[in-house]
Structure 1
Amino acid sequence: MDTATMMMLVLVASIAILIFLILKVKIHPFLSLILVCIFVGVATGMPLPKIATSIENGMAGTLGFLATVIGFGTILGKMLEVSGGAERLARTLLEKMGEKRAPWAMTIVGLIAGIPVFFEVGFVLLFPLVFIVAKQAKMSLLRVGIPLAVSLMVVHSMVPPHPAAFAITTTLGADVGKVILYALLVGTPTAILAGPIWAKFISTKCKTGVLKESEENAATPTENLPGFGITLFTILLPLIIMVGKTISTLFLAKDSALLPIVTFLGNPIIALLISVFVAYYTLGLSRGLKMKNLLTLTEQCFGPIAGILLIIGGGGAFNAILVDSGLGTELSKILMSLNMNPIILAWLIAWLMHLAIGSATVAMISTAGMVLPMLAAYPGLSPEIIVLAIGSGAIGWCHVNDSSFWFVKEYLGLSLPDMFKSFTAACLIASFVSLGGILILSLVI
């Protein structure tokens, strides 16, 4: 058996083992990734001390930057949650657009409010508004809820500072400002087509369960909510700074005295640090909170992200093992021999990984490690486009092995068949539509 064939068998076996450990044995994805790293190292003949070193370096290299960024992003999300900022955004947009356009309003809210928060957090924050608006507009929960869920999923998979999107942006050496800009260009029409347009069509073919109104669904008094403008500014500030840096560097001369300052401020760590302290004031201190309250809130927000950080670190270790074992080089040769468009290939790998594993985050991190060695053969290919392609592929196939699937199902009160017809289908539509947008975008950048 030649080396290339052996390496590919090891890769296939490693993915199969990863799926088996997560889905059947119910081992946490972080532990599963580390076990698979050891398997790949042993199977490819790496010295045992080198396997341990490779895992250590992969974890450290990935989390050294990302842990800081994700920590800051989580604080922003917590401030949005406790201040009522998400509810303010939703209410204002619904008032301006009207209840009959509620699905469109919830799409916009999801795209904005989803930037600093995880999918589940965003859905929990905004579901009370979904319930109230659906009742007032005499629409089904599905008609209003699916657009929100899809827009949150699009942002979750494609737009930094979300952890997986940020992780693969770093892994592939892409410019974070460009990734944000391109992701919003592609993601907005994607969320519209797979959200309110698809929901309007499919809502007549599905039956939403009857849910009882509770205190959780009660609206917060308007006077207790922050202002719309300041909330929107606070949420978008890190994106404004990072995208601003990317745009500024296109026009500033290389010897400009402003360039080092712009580059420093536009670094994701600095941009998010600035945004955190702005959020402390706009969504905290200015609304009566004290520094001791902010300290407590900050401490509370770090616990839930530990699992995400470890999964991303495990993905970094897997990437390092692929490279150090030589498997990545062989994989690159195989992938290039397929003569497939590299954008479609990156999308397809992430699409299949999410289908098999049930986690968009794990699918994206794993795909980045497989695709990275291939990029050297395509020097003219924008790494930002590949980041989007991986995120686009990971949107698809949200089904029974994905916790998000059950999360949406229970909140919307849908049957299993109706969940497949509505949310799973919406994610697949979003995945294909965004791929089309990425392919078009790749022609002009």
Structure 2
Amino acid sequence: MTRLGVEMLAADAVGPITSAGHARLGLAVLAGIAVIVLLITKFRLHAFLALTIGSLALGAFAGAPLDEVISGFSGGLGSTVAGVGVLIALGAVLGKMLADSGGADQIVDTVLARAKGRSMPWAMVLIASVIGLPLFFEVGIVLLIPVVLMVAKRGSYSLMRIGVPALAGLSVMHGLVPPHPGPLVAIDALGADLGVTLALGVLVAVPTVIIAGPVFSRFAARWVDVPAPERMIPQRASEQLERRPGFGATLVTVLLPVVLMLAKALVEIVVDDPGQPVQRVFDVVGSPLIALLAAVLVGIFALLRPAGFSRERVSGLVEKGLAPIAGILLIVGAGGGFKQTLIDVGVGQMILEITEDWSVPALLLAWLIAVTIRLATGSATVATVSAAGLVAPLAADMSTTHAALLVLAIGAGSLFFSHVNDAGFWLVKEYFGLSVGQTVKTWSVMETIISVVAGALVLLLSLVI
């Protein structure tokens, strides 16, 4: 039985903290989500505060004792941060190393040196996908946009033909492939296996990024034909370094955690005996914590030392890498608190009872819930953590593979149609020098394609595995 299954049985044994019926609980959920949406969109309140207030509102509308709501929210916040906080921190440090050492630029320059003409959009999606593995979406954009603009200008390429594949690579990694915060939180909430989710996530990500990137960019370039804005081409990190790490060392550092986690999943399938020494070893080295920690330690010697970083500068880089993730950790933690509030008041059990006789597959239901919250709040992370909390009980009796697919269905839904309430929308608009309409035609449509294609592939996989 999964950890979540044990938690759910314990929760059922205690029972919900309110005696509200389905109708009142349904209205309470709508009211709680409405409070979160209103606070984020209308009052521009930070998502952490909005989720906290929304959780209290949900408990109040459901008629639950507020002291128990507060206790449950705090417990959910703590357990979520305990489960994924260290992983997010290690991922942030690894991404900072990759950016500041010039390793990211090394990957970019090496791939672009071999790409010409029609292969350039494919090169851009490859670069974005590889670099996007350890980087948060916003960091990836800041890192890659200068490259996109320079390539478009120097090679006389359409900006959208080059830019859309890069954005697609980053977005797909962000929504579907751990160790990004969204997938990690969903994995933790649903009790899914990280290695299996990672393997299936990569399987879904490859065709998705091809369709939403190089293929869609052909149409995007026809719809929006704009030059690269020169004012947005900043100095690259490696231009300030005397030397930078090699391509091979950088690639090994980036892919190391992925390889270790996939190896763990493969050994579990082949050996299938927890008592065997081989599986026990891979259970340790392939755990997310050890895999990411190993990549960070390797990065110190493979990325930072070749770039001439002193011990003091290495320490300073780690500190700078950790600083920006405070807000992300708080949002993720509050999302875990909101999820726990949903479980405590009995919403999870209500969804189980209501959907028992529905013909809507659980994966499609999860995707639709994530889509709705994404459209309302504009935040992929909020959509993921909220949807995971709502559908968590559905995963209790699922197989390992279907629980992983449920995570991916939520991730796919969380990327649907980014618009004016999403910070990423404005980031893309300003960096590419687009109008609101042009951003919708390119970025928003691309995000929708990713969401629909990935969601369809998840449903297809559920029929064959």
| TM-score normalized by the length of structure 2 | 0.92
CA distance in 2: counterparts of 1:441 and 1:26, whole angstroms: 39
Q: State the 1:383 CA deviation.
A: 0.7
**Displacement of 1:254:** 3.7
Counterpart code for 1:18: I
**Paired position in structure 2 for 1:155:** 173
Give 1:103 shift: 1.3
Q: Which residue of 1 aligns with 2:8?
A: none
- CA 219–141 in structure 1, closer or farther in 2 if over 3 Å, else same: farther
Distance 1:376 1:255 in 2: 25
Give the Cα separation in 2 of the matches to 1:81 and 1:172.
32
Of 371-380 and 224-233, deviating more is 371-380
Paired letter, 1:420? V
Partner of 2:219: 201
SS at match of 1:398: coil
Among residues 195, 203, 207, which one is paired with 1:177 in the alignment? 195
SS of residue in 2 equivalent to 1:382 = helix
Residue 112 of structure 1 corresponds to 130
Most deviating of 216-225 and 410-419: 216-225
Give 1:250's aligned residue.
269
Contact (CA 8 Å) 1:207, 1:414: kept in 2 or not? no
**What is the CA distance between 1:350 and its match in structure 2?**
0.8
Matched, 1:367 2:387: yes
For residues 137 and 399 of structure 1, what CA distance do their matches in structure 2 show? Answer: 30
Alignment match, 1:403: 423
1:413 aligned to 2:433?
yes
1:270 Cα deviation (Å)? 1.2
Query: Take 2:233 and 2:464, find their aligned partners in 1: how far apart are those partners?
Result: 51
Give the 3 Å change call, closer, same or farther, for CA 335–12 of structure 1 in structure 2. farther
* 1:127 CA drift (Å): 1.5
| Residue 143, structure 1, aligned to residue 173, structure 2 | no
- Distance in 1 between residues matched to 2:238 and 2:22, nearest whole Å: 61
Partner of 1:191: 209
- On the 8 A contact 2:102/2:237 being kept in 1, the answer is no
**Which residue identity lines up with residue 194 of structure 1 in the other structure?**
A
Please state how far the C-alpha of 1:210 moved relative to its aligned partner: 5.1
Q: Which letter does structure 2 place at the counterpart of 1:321?
A: T
1:19 aligns with 37
Between stretches 131-140 and 4-13, larger displacement belongs to 131-140
Q: 1:396 touches 1:427 (CA, 8 Å); kept in 2?
A: yes
CA distance in 2, matches of 1:236, 1:310: 28
Deviation at 1:223, TM superposition (A): 7.1
| Cα RMSD (Å) | 1.9
- Displacement of 1:60 after TM fit? 0.9
Are the counterparts in 1 of residues 347 and 390 from structure 2 also a CA contact under 8 Å? no
In structure 2, the partner of 1:345 is 365
The ranges of structure 1 where at least 4 consecutive aligned residues each deviate by more than 4 angstroms after the TM superposition are 217-223, 377-381
Report if aligned partners of 1:336, 1:374 keep a CA contact under 8 Å in 2. Answer: no
Question: How far apart are 1:415 and its partner, in Å?
Answer: 1.5
Q: Deviations over 1:210-241 (max 9, x none)?
A: 51257615695697332111111100101111
- Structure 1 residues 375 and 219: CA distance shift in structure 2, 3 A: closer
Where 2:360 maps in the other structure, the secondary structure is coil
The residue aligned with 1:129 is: 147
Q: Secondary structure at the match of 2:277?
A: coil
Q: 1:389 aligns with which of 409, 412, 428?
A: 409
Tell me how far 1:117 sits from its aligned partner: 0.7
Write the distance in 2 (CA, Å) between the matches of 1:301 and 1:239.
20
SS of the equivalent of 2:464 reads coil
- Name the structure 2 match of 1:425: 445
Q: Distance in 1 between matches of 2:374 and 2:170?
A: 17
Amino acid at match of 2:127: V
1:216 equivalenced with 2:243 (yes/no)? no
2:334 is equivalent to residue 277 of structure 1: no
Q: Do residues 230 (structure 1) and 249 (structure 2) align? A: yes
2:335 to 315, 325, 328: 315
- What SS does the corresponding residue of 1:10 show, helix, strand or coil? helix
Shift of 1:392: 0.7
TM-score normalized with structure 1 length? 0.96
Aligned partner letter, 2:174: H
CA distance in 2, matches of 1:218, 1:317: 40
What is residue 4 of structure 2 aligned with on the other side? none
Aligned-pair distance for 1:65?
Answer: 2.1
The count of residues paired between Structure 1 and Structure 2 equals 445
**Aligned counterpart for 2:78 among listed residues 49, 60, 68:** 60
The separation in 2 between residues aligned to 1:333 and 1:309, in whole angstroms, is 33
- CA shift, 1:207, in A, is 2.8
Q: 1:321 & 1:352 partners in 2: Cα distance?
A: 20
Partner amino acid, structure 1, of 2:323: G
Conserved? CA contact 1:333–1:374, under 8 Å: no
